[in-house]
Amino acid sequence: MKKFKDIFVLSTAFLMFSCSSNDKAKNDGGTKTDPVEKEKPNSNYKPAFVGQTRVNGVTTNTAFQASVLTSELTNPWGVKSLPDGRLLVTQKTGTMRIVTPAGVVSAPITGLPAVNASGQGGLLGLCLDPDFASNQMIYWVFSEAVSGGNISSVAKGKLSNDEKTIENATIIYRSSPANASNLHYGGRILFDQTGNLIVSTGERSVLETRPLAQSLTASLGKVIRITKDGKAATGNSTFAGAGALPELFTYGHRNPQGLAVHPITKEIWLSEHGPRGGDEINRLQAGLNYGWPIITYGIEYSGEPIGTGIQQKEGMEQPVYYWDPVVSPSGITFYAGNRIPEWENNLFVGCLSGMHIVRLVIKDNKVAGEERLLASENQRFRDITQGSDGALYAVTDQGRLYKIDKK
């Protein structure tokens, strides 16, 4: 088996990677290897089932390449493909940019509500209206400074015909309660199969708000399901207890920065930052509790256990997969193309502290293999999406936009 190798091209804006080619490439994920994680875990916690962590590695057999379309973005956070193949990108500081397939970057798109870009805040995830080709509507998440502190907010607006501004930008939803913390905003957004918005929010990190991930009267540490106007969507689960918020979809999350819809099952999957250990991939089911901060495979940064130090509890869901040490999973996407057979219906995860892209082979809602891509680039991969051309596109905190496709 040949190892993944870099091919350097004499261009300031273009870099290619090649993976070993094999005529026997199959839809089984590729060549099996030992687990990719070699570092010692932070705790002696045991997984709840075989394959929940440190599953066997896989290596892609089909030759592929990754090219840097541009390095001119400023702290990009979200990326989505426009119908014509260009890429719409959010920048943490509060503007959007459009990038052509040739790597030409537009002037900043203005007209958005002000963001609080301190700490982990700013202009975060985005999605396009299912009817974007006719209505030009965009939806996004951002951190907003309000009375009492900061919150995760959702807004919508129309991309102007000249693509220079967002028209009639309107804030349709605000999380609660506000807190002075500038951490753990969550921040991804997508449309589900019913045309409603799914939004992830963080629990804001600090000890006073951490327990609110379990509170049904607060929208911190949640995934919510709302209409295009920001109201609770019809068909949401009904939670017991006075004051339970009608927009809640799932709860018990820490800092969920990735959302994706499975191409076949149409179920929603989520990536979530753990503390010291305990990064998670979850398959979301409406009305369920995903455990934070009561159960976790992570520990405090100080090394102490979190709460009572338990990993399983009746009535709380187990992650499909977790990492210890962490990789800091951010944006995720499923590969719905067929240009690279081994990748069909695989989950791709942009990793920050891991500084690579994770490929997870998913079979029967479990992880059957893990591969780490582009690790030699030393980039913090913030988001990844599939383009209208079938290729994958990823943005990094350092300002790069990559195209990843069959060679």
Give the active site residue among 184, 253, 273, 356. Answer: 184
Is 184 a catalytic site residue? Answer: yes
DSSP sequence for 232-263: BPTTPPPPSSTT--TTEEEE--SEEEEEEE-T
Q: Taking the mean position of all CA atoms in its chain, how far away is CA 342? A: 22
Residue 231 CA to residue 245 CA, distance in Å, equals 11
Residue 206 CA to residue 335 CA, distance in Å, equals 35
Amino acid letter, 94: G
CB 69 within 8 Å of CB 13: yes
CB 64 within 8 Å of CB 72: no
Residue 73 CA to residue 397 CA, distance in Å, equals 9
Q: Residue 251: which residues within 8 A CB-CB, separation 6 or more? A: 213, 214, 216, 221, 222, 223, 289, 290
Q: How many CB atoms are closer than 10 A to CB 16? A: 15
CB 178 within 8 Å of CB 150: yes
Q: How many CB atoms are closer than 10 A to CB 164? A: 13
Q: Which residues are catalytic?
A: 184
